[in-house]
Every structure is written in structure tokens, then in C-alpha cells.
Amino acid sequence: MGQGLEILDRAELAPTSGYLGGKWRAGDARFAVKNPATGETLAEVADLGASDTEAAVSAATEAWHSWSRLTAKERSVLMRRWAGLILQHQEDLARIMTLENGKVLAEARLETALSAAYIEWGAEEGRRIYGDVIPSHRPDARLLVFRQSIGPVGVITPWNFPSAMLTRKAAAILGSGCSLVAKPAAETPLSALALAVLADEAGIPAGVFNIVPSKRAGEVGKVLTEDARIRAFSFTGSTAVGKELMRQCASTVKKTAMELGGNAPLLVFDDADLETAITGTMQSKFRNGGQTCICPNRIFVQDKIYDSYISGLAEQAAQIKVGNGLTEGMQQGPLINQAAVEKVLRQVENAKSLGGEILCGGDQGTLGGCFHMPTVIANANTKMEFACEETFGPVAPVVRFATEAEGVAMANDTEFGLAAYAFTQDLARAFRVSETLESGMVSLNAGVMTTEVAPFGGYKESGLGREGSHQGMDEFTETKYVQFAGL
């Protein structure tokens, strides 16, 4: 198999221009998108700026007036057609994702399927945005509550799930009757542009779905957060950047939905099924090379089961097949760039300096470049950098704890609260721990929790609002109370 976009069955799924108002805009500058597995340039993509973003906002504003007036069923038909096209072109979309992101093809295929599921869910939930009839306070009046689309929405998405993060937002936005202007991550714009091709083919009206690729994040972000025509703003990324974007949104009192940083704990209690706990940890920790916002960054294991657990985890982690994601059978690809590798190497060295024992991995192996081997660290402690800084890499530091109270306290000792995991066969403990963990999402006895049917979001500095489920539609609707008097 080749190493570039020539491997696609449909070359037109890899445009390099922005998609604004139903038309492709080349702009006056370009930036390189590189394959992290090889370091080679995949494409030179349009580097759009503030004026282009303003044009996209104008197109989204005009389109919103007509899109919001369609019936929910009319919108649903077009969105479901879009979801069908995503599934129809699953293999090409997965290849694009692997080329620009590095994740293995098996994971890219799953993400593409999830992307279609998000669009389908938004299409269906858009038909269930209900209001209320309130018992009146006066006999000659009737009180009604409507939920209406909020308007054009600004969106900024990350590189680690370049398709699913965009479709999860787009599903709720379009299903609610809103339009959007999205800036995908500069590392992975091709997946977003491919979705735009299919949205156009599905008949999504011009201006409803706009993609602004750019290396000028601050410039584009300023328009999306400060232009008064954008009524809501949705962002997935770091907490530090999210805080700055929230400040900018305050200038026009925008509604914000923020999915920010995570520092997920994973708790293994001494009554856990060992095989289930190890399998769940492998699934959650090493998926996408550890580059997920909900993968466990801090693993806490109770004394009695610690030695058995960590030896089993290290044995399985050492067997992960690492290489170019395009090669069938690979289980982990490269990290997104050299800076990501350097961060992981620094955290591993910090752990070693504070008494951590490397049971497997700990370096780049023989692959070099943007690769880092799956790593398990024994004798980890909460003074190490991983305890307060998200790793975003294939490193599993394992901390020992004695009591349930101690384990939960260490798990909650962070300003973040996106996801948490716990493994126990004690039903009472499962309820206690799930209720006590300060996290927006808790997975008991399983390493994978993401689904379009459940709400995704966090506590504390991990964000505001929810994506997915019916709660995800709430972020992009306004509640209107109407009193009919004189009856």
C-alpha cells in the first residue's frame, strides 16, 4: 500500500480548499499537512484567515434562516443521507484519518462508523426537541414553552479524533436547526474537508456546514468567538485555550459548550476480576496511542491485587504491535508530532527520577520519529508529573493504594473531572465509588464508554455542557416562554 493520498478510491474526497457557503475557497496561502508515521507531506491545504472566516459566518447566518425553518423531518432526511454516505465511504475516510493522524486503520474505521452514528443520532433527536404546556396562573391565559435553534455556531475541533469530534458537534447543531462554521485542527484538516464533500453530496444546503482550515488559530478563533452573528460556540481542546476562548465569548455573551482537558483516574479494587481489569485498562489506556482526552492518565491499584495486575498489564502492553497505521495488524501508530513525543519522554524520565520502575517500553524503540513504545511504570506516585499533567501518550503509571477512601481521594485530587474508571465486583462499592468520583463520566468494569446515545462531558475544569444523547441538543437551543392571554 502507498503512503499518500493516492491510495484513496475517490481522490475527490481529499480537497485542499476551505468549504464556505457551499463553494471551495483556495485562499492566498497554504500550509503543509504531514503524515506523522513518515514525516512526509500529504497535502498543502488552504490557510484561511479572518476575512475568510467572516465570509463563512455570513454564509452560515444566511443559511440558518432557511435551514431552521425546514421541518425537523426534512432536516433529518438530509442528515441521514449524509450518515449513509459516510458509511459508504468508510474505507477512504479511514485511510485519510490514518494518513494525517497516524492512528491504525482498525481504529480509524471504528471512528468513521461512530461519526456516522453521531449524524444519524442528531437527525433522529432533532425530531424530538419538545416544549412544554404549563398549567396557567390565570384562567384566561395559556402558557407555552418552545425550544428554538439558537443560530449559527462556531466550532473548533482537535486532531486526536478529527472526524468524530466534528460530527458529534455537527449532529446536534444541524439537528437543532442551526448552521455551523468549523475550524479543524491544523494537523488534521483533511478528515473535516472529506466530510464536507459528503455533506454537499447528501444535499445539506450551502452555508449550513462550513469548514475553515487554518494555521492561524488565534485569528480564526477571534472571529468565531467575538462576531455577534455567532450565537453559540463549541470547543474541544485544552483547558488553558478553552479559558481564553471563553473570555473572548464573553464579549457577546455567547453560549459556550466546552470539552476541555482530562486527567482520568482508573481504580482497580482488590475484589476486581483481574482479567477484566487488565483488558479494560489496555482498551482505555492504549487506544489511539494514549492520545484521548478520556484515557486513564493515573492508574490506582489496591495492595492485594497490585503485583498480579501490573505484571499482567506489562506483559500485554509489551505485545502491542507498533508501526505505520496503514499496515494491517498494527495496534498502535505514531504520536501526532515530535513535540508530543518529547513530552512523553520527559514524563517518563521524571517518573524514573522519582523511583518509577519501567516494566516495558519507556523509549521510542527502534522506530524513532514520532513513535513511542507502550510503557508501564511500577512504583509510581502522585509526586510525578503525570499526576498533574495530561500525558497524551502510551504511558501507564501504576500507583498503589491501601483503602477505598484513599484510592478515591487520590482519584479526585485534580482540577479536572472528565472521565473515570473503576473495576470492582462489589455492588455496594460500585455505587459508592461511582457517586463519589468527581467526574462527568464513570465507567465501571469496562474500558470503553463513548457512544452517541450517552452524554459526554466533564466536571470542574474539564468543561461545560454535554455532547451526545438528548442533552447534547440542549446546547444549541433557546428556551422561549409565550403567554397567550385574553382567551
Q: Is 388 a catalytic residue?
A: no
C-alpha grid cell for residue 403? 483503602
Q: What is the DSSP letter of 393?
A: S
Residue 349's contacts (CB-CB under 8 Å, 6 or more residues apart) are: none
Task: Please check whether residue 43 is in contact with residue 16, taking contact to mean a CB–CB distance below 8 angstroms.
Answer: yes
C-alpha grid cell for residue 18? 476551505
Q: Which amino acid is at 148?
A: Q
Residue 373's contacts (CB-CB under 8 Å, 6 or more residues apart) are: 322, 360, 361, 362, 363, 364, 365, 394
d(CA 227, CA 251): 9
Residue 475's contacts (CB-CB under 8 Å, 6 or more residues apart) are: 172, 232, 234, 255, 257, 465, 466, 467
SS3 177: coil
Active-site entry in 178, 293, 295, 360: 293
Looking at the DSSP bridge assignments, the partners of residue 267 are 300, 422
Active-site entry in 259, 452, 467, 475: 259
Task: Please check whether residue 370 is in contact with residue 334, taking contact to mean a CB–CB distance below 8 angstroms.
Answer: yes
- Exposed e or buried b per residue across 295-324, where buried means at least 16 C-beta atoms within 10 angstroms of its C-beta: bbbbbbbbeebbeebbebbbebbeebebbb
Q: Is 486 exposed, middle or buried (0-12, 13-18, 19+ CB in 10 A)?
A: exposed
Q: How many CA atoms lie within 13 Å of 434's alpha carbon, on the beta-carbon side?
A: 13
SS3 42: strand
DSSP class per residue in 237-257: S-HHHHHHHHHHHGGGT-EEE
Looking at the DSSP bridge assignments, the partners of residue 235 are 156, 258
Task: Please check whether residue 473 is in contact with residue 129, taking contact to mean a CB–CB distance below 8 angstroms.
Answer: yes
C-alpha grid cell for residue 444? 465501571
Closest CA relative to residue 211, chosen from 228, 225, 227, 193: 193
How many C-beta atoms lie closer than 10 Å to residue 404's C-beta?
Answer: 18
Output the CA torsion sign for 382, 384, 388, 389. Answer: negative
Q: How many CA atoms lie within 13 Å of 297's alpha carbon, on the beta-carbon side?
A: 30
Q: Is 178 a catalytic residue?
A: no
Residue 406's contacts (CB-CB under 8 Å, 6 or more residues apart) are: none
Active site amino acids: 259, 293
